[in-house]
Chains A and B, each alone.
Chain A
Amino acid sequence: AQRVTQPEKLLSVFKGAPVELKCNYSYSGSPELFWYVQYSRQRLQLLLRHISRESIKGFTADLNKGETSFHLKKPFAQEEDSAMYYCALRKFSSGSARQLTFGSGTQLTVLP
Protein backbone atom coordinates (compact mmCIF):
# COMPACT_ATOMS: atom_id res chain seq x y z
CA ALA A 1 0.00 0.00 0.00
CA GLN A 2 1.15 3.52 -0.70
CA ARG A 3 1.98 5.89 2.10
CA VAL A 4 2.89 9.57 2.28
CA THR A 5 4.90 10.91 5.20
CA GLN A 6 5.29 14.55 6.13
CA PRO A 7 7.59 14.46 9.14
CA GLU A 8 7.00 18.05 10.29
CA LYS A 9 3.59 19.00 11.68
CA LEU A 10 4.71 22.57 12.26
CA LEU A 11 7.37 24.64 10.52
CA SER A 12 8.26 28.25 11.21
CA VAL A 13 10.64 30.39 9.19
CA PHE A 14 11.34 34.09 8.97
CA LYS A 15 10.29 36.15 6.00
CA GLY A 16 12.96 36.02 3.31
CA ALA A 17 14.46 32.76 4.55
CA PRO A 18 14.46 29.59 2.46
CA VAL A 19 11.82 27.04 3.25
CA GLU A 20 11.63 23.31 2.58
CA LEU A 21 8.62 21.18 3.41
CA LYS A 22 9.52 17.52 3.42
CA CYS A 23 7.52 14.74 1.83
CA ASN A 24 8.51 11.09 1.57
CA TYR A 25 6.47 8.37 -0.01
CA SER A 26 6.44 4.62 -0.17
CA TYR A 27 5.16 3.04 -3.34
CA SER A 28 6.82 0.48 -5.55
CA GLY A 29 5.36 1.59 -8.88
CA SER A 30 5.34 4.87 -10.79
CA PRO A 31 3.80 7.53 -8.59
CA GLU A 32 2.22 10.83 -9.42
CA LEU A 33 2.95 13.42 -6.74
CA PHE A 34 1.15 16.62 -5.83
CA TRP A 35 1.30 19.44 -3.34
CA TYR A 36 -1.98 20.92 -2.12
CA VAL A 37 -2.28 24.06 -0.02
CA GLN A 38 -4.98 25.42 2.29
CA TYR A 39 -4.75 29.07 3.26
CA SER A 40 -6.62 30.28 6.31
CA ARG A 41 -10.38 30.19 5.75
CA GLN A 42 -9.97 29.05 2.14
CA ARG A 43 -10.61 25.74 0.45
CA LEU A 44 -7.90 23.20 -0.23
CA GLN A 45 -6.40 23.71 -3.67
CA LEU A 46 -3.72 22.26 -5.91
CA LEU A 47 -0.38 24.03 -5.69
CA LEU A 48 1.69 21.98 -8.08
CA ARG A 49 2.22 18.50 -9.52
CA HIS A 50 5.50 16.83 -10.38
CA ILE A 51 4.67 15.98 -13.99
CA SER A 52 4.22 19.66 -14.80
CA ARG A 53 7.68 20.56 -13.52
CA GLU A 54 6.37 24.07 -12.93
CA SER A 55 7.02 26.76 -10.37
CA ILE A 56 3.93 28.16 -8.68
CA LYS A 57 4.14 31.19 -6.38
CA GLY A 58 7.90 30.64 -6.29
CA PHE A 59 7.57 27.05 -5.05
CA THR A 60 9.19 24.10 -6.78
CA ALA A 61 9.26 20.40 -6.03
CA ASP A 62 11.42 17.72 -7.59
CA LEU A 63 10.56 14.07 -7.55
CA ASN A 64 13.55 12.07 -6.33
CA LYS A 65 12.76 8.43 -6.99
CA GLY A 66 15.99 7.25 -5.42
CA GLU A 67 15.16 8.87 -2.10
CA THR A 68 11.38 8.52 -2.64
CA SER A 69 10.95 12.17 -1.82
CA PHE A 70 9.03 15.14 -3.19
CA HIS A 71 10.12 18.06 -1.04
CA LEU A 72 8.57 21.49 -1.60
CA LYS A 73 11.00 24.39 -1.70
CA LYS A 74 10.98 28.15 -1.94
CA PRO A 75 14.14 30.25 -1.78
CA PHE A 76 12.58 33.29 -0.08
CA ALA A 77 9.50 32.74 2.06
CA GLN A 78 6.76 35.39 2.22
CA GLU A 79 4.20 35.96 4.97
CA GLU A 80 1.40 35.07 2.55
CA ASP A 81 2.91 31.57 2.22
CA SER A 82 1.66 30.77 5.72
CA ALA A 83 -0.75 27.88 5.23
CA MET A 84 -1.28 24.15 5.66
CA TYR A 85 0.50 22.13 3.02
CA TYR A 86 -0.37 18.56 2.07
CA CYS A 87 1.68 16.20 -0.05
CA ALA A 88 -0.35 13.65 -2.02
CA LEU A 89 0.39 10.57 -4.09
CA ARG A 90 -1.59 8.86 -6.80
CA LYS A 91 -0.83 5.56 -8.46
CA PHE A 92 -0.26 5.73 -12.17
CA SER A 93 -1.92 2.39 -12.71
CA SER A 94 -5.43 1.82 -13.91
CA GLY A 95 -8.31 0.62 -11.83
CA SER A 96 -10.06 1.89 -8.79
CA ALA A 97 -6.87 2.75 -6.93
CA ARG A 98 -6.47 6.06 -8.67
CA GLN A 99 -7.57 8.14 -5.75
CA LEU A 100 -5.12 10.35 -3.91
CA THR A 101 -3.40 9.39 -0.69
CA PHE A 102 -2.59 12.44 1.42
CA GLY A 103 0.08 13.03 4.03
CA SER A 104 -0.73 14.38 7.47
CA GLY A 105 0.14 17.95 6.50
CA THR A 106 2.64 20.61 7.55
CA GLN A 107 1.51 23.94 8.97
CA LEU A 108 3.92 26.58 7.69
CA THR A 109 4.17 29.89 9.50
CA VAL A 110 6.27 32.66 8.00
CA LEU A 111 7.23 35.14 10.66
CA PRO A 112 7.70 38.84 9.90
Chain B
Amino acid sequence: DVKVTQSSRYLVKRTGEKVFLECVQDMDHENMFWYRQDPGLGLRLIYFSYDVKMKEKGDIPEGYSVSREKKERFSLILESASTNQTSMYLCASRPGVWAGELFFGEGSRLTVL
Protein backbone atom coordinates (compact mmCIF):
# COMPACT_ATOMS: atom_id res chain seq x y z
CA ASP B 1 0.00 0.00 0.00
CA VAL B 2 1.07 3.52 -0.75
CA LYS B 3 1.77 5.43 2.37
CA VAL B 4 1.64 9.21 2.51
CA THR B 5 2.56 10.48 5.93
CA GLN B 6 2.06 14.00 7.21
CA SER B 7 4.21 14.77 10.19
CA SER B 8 1.72 16.74 12.25
CA ARG B 9 -1.97 15.94 12.61
CA TYR B 10 -2.75 19.04 14.67
CA LEU B 11 -0.88 22.32 15.03
CA VAL B 12 -1.70 25.55 16.80
CA LYS B 13 0.35 28.57 15.87
CA ARG B 14 0.23 32.30 16.47
CA THR B 15 -0.13 34.98 13.82
CA GLY B 16 3.23 35.78 12.27
CA GLU B 17 4.89 32.50 13.15
CA LYS B 18 6.66 30.43 10.52
CA VAL B 19 5.02 27.06 9.96
CA PHE B 20 6.43 23.92 8.35
CA LEU B 21 4.19 21.10 7.22
CA GLU B 22 6.04 17.98 6.17
CA CYS B 23 4.88 15.18 3.91
CA VAL B 24 6.67 11.93 3.09
CA GLN B 25 5.66 9.22 0.64
CA ASP B 26 7.23 5.79 0.45
CA MET B 27 6.39 4.66 -3.09
CA ASP B 28 8.92 6.59 -5.17
CA HIS B 29 6.19 8.77 -6.67
CA GLU B 30 7.32 11.57 -8.93
CA ASN B 31 4.47 13.98 -8.32
CA MET B 32 3.44 15.51 -5.00
CA PHE B 33 0.75 18.03 -4.12
CA TRP B 34 -0.43 20.27 -1.32
CA TYR B 35 -4.15 21.08 -1.03
CA ARG B 36 -6.15 22.92 1.57
CA GLN B 37 -9.58 21.62 2.44
CA ASP B 38 -12.25 24.04 3.65
CA PRO B 39 -15.97 23.42 4.20
CA GLY B 40 -17.99 24.59 1.25
CA LEU B 41 -14.90 25.21 -0.85
CA GLY B 42 -13.67 21.65 -1.32
CA LEU B 43 -10.02 21.03 -2.09
CA ARG B 44 -7.95 23.81 -3.55
CA LEU B 45 -4.48 23.24 -4.93
CA ILE B 46 -1.74 25.31 -3.32
CA TYR B 47 1.43 23.97 -4.96
CA PHE B 48 2.57 20.87 -6.74
CA SER B 49 5.85 19.30 -7.73
CA TYR B 50 6.54 17.04 -10.69
CA ASP B 51 9.99 16.06 -9.55
CA VAL B 52 12.79 16.88 -7.15
CA LYS B 53 13.51 20.61 -6.96
CA MET B 54 10.62 21.34 -9.34
CA LYS B 55 7.54 23.21 -8.21
CA GLU B 56 4.58 24.94 -9.75
CA LYS B 57 1.94 27.20 -8.31
CA GLY B 58 -1.56 25.91 -7.97
CA ASP B 59 -4.72 27.93 -7.62
CA ILE B 60 -4.02 29.59 -4.26
CA PRO B 61 -0.24 29.92 -3.76
CA GLU B 62 -0.27 33.31 -2.03
CA GLY B 63 1.20 33.17 1.45
CA TYR B 64 2.76 29.75 0.90
CA SER B 65 6.00 28.30 -0.40
CA VAL B 66 7.21 24.74 -0.87
CA SER B 67 10.39 22.74 -0.88
CA ARG B 68 11.24 19.43 -2.51
CA GLU B 69 14.87 18.56 -1.93
CA LYS B 70 14.31 14.81 -1.93
CA LYS B 71 11.91 12.79 -4.00
CA GLU B 72 10.03 11.39 -1.05
CA ARG B 73 9.55 14.62 0.86
CA PHE B 74 7.45 17.69 0.04
CA SER B 75 7.24 20.52 2.55
CA LEU B 76 4.73 23.33 2.75
CA ILE B 77 5.93 26.54 4.38
CA LEU B 78 3.90 29.41 5.73
CA GLU B 79 6.44 32.21 6.12
CA SER B 80 4.18 34.31 8.34
CA ALA B 81 1.02 32.55 9.37
CA SER B 82 -2.26 34.44 9.32
CA THR B 83 -5.67 33.56 10.73
CA ASN B 84 -7.12 33.02 7.25
CA GLN B 85 -4.68 30.14 6.83
CA THR B 86 -6.48 28.17 9.51
CA SER B 87 -7.47 25.06 7.59
CA MET B 88 -6.98 21.37 6.96
CA TYR B 89 -3.95 20.75 4.74
CA LEU B 90 -3.78 17.61 2.63
CA CYS B 91 -0.69 16.22 0.98
CA ALA B 92 -1.01 13.84 -1.97
CA SER B 93 1.23 11.95 -4.35
CA ARG B 94 0.95 9.98 -7.58
CA PRO B 95 3.39 7.92 -9.64
CA GLY B 96 3.60 10.34 -12.57
CA VAL B 97 1.63 12.72 -14.74
CA TRP B 98 0.01 9.85 -16.63
CA ALA B 99 -1.56 8.46 -13.46
CA GLY B 100 -5.03 9.60 -12.51
CA GLU B 101 -5.23 8.48 -8.91
CA LEU B 102 -3.93 10.63 -6.09
CA PHE B 103 -2.91 9.07 -2.78
CA PHE B 104 -3.62 11.31 0.17
CA GLY B 105 -2.18 11.74 3.61
CA GLU B 106 -4.36 11.96 6.70
CA GLY B 107 -4.19 15.71 6.79
CA SER B 108 -2.76 18.38 9.08
CA ARG B 109 -5.21 20.63 10.85
CA LEU B 110 -3.64 24.02 11.40
CA THR B 111 -5.14 26.63 13.68
CA VAL B 112 -3.65 30.11 13.60
CA LEU B 113 -4.55 32.27 16.58
Contacts and interface: CB of A to CB of B under 8 A. Distances in A.
A104 B106 contact: no
Interface stretch (B12-20, B38-46, B66-74, B79-87): B38-46
Interface residues of A, number: 23
B42 A105 contact: yes
B90 interface: yes
Given A34-B101, A100-B45, A103-B42, 9 more contacts: A43-B107, A44-B92, A45-B104, A51-B100, A99-B33, A101-B45, A102-B35, A104-B41, A104-B42
Nearest to A6: B42
Interface of A: 4, 6, 9, 32, 34, 36, 43-46, 49, 51, 86, 90, 96, 98-105
Given A43-B106, A43-B107, A102 B101 contact: no
Contact of B101 (A43, A49, A103): A49
Interface of B: 4, 33, 35, 40-45, 48, 50, 56, 58, 90, 92, 97, 100-102, 104-107
B97 A98 contact: yes
Given A44-B90, A96-B56, A102 B43 contact: yes
A105 B41 CA distance: 8
A105 B85 CA distance: 20
A79 B92 CA distance: 28
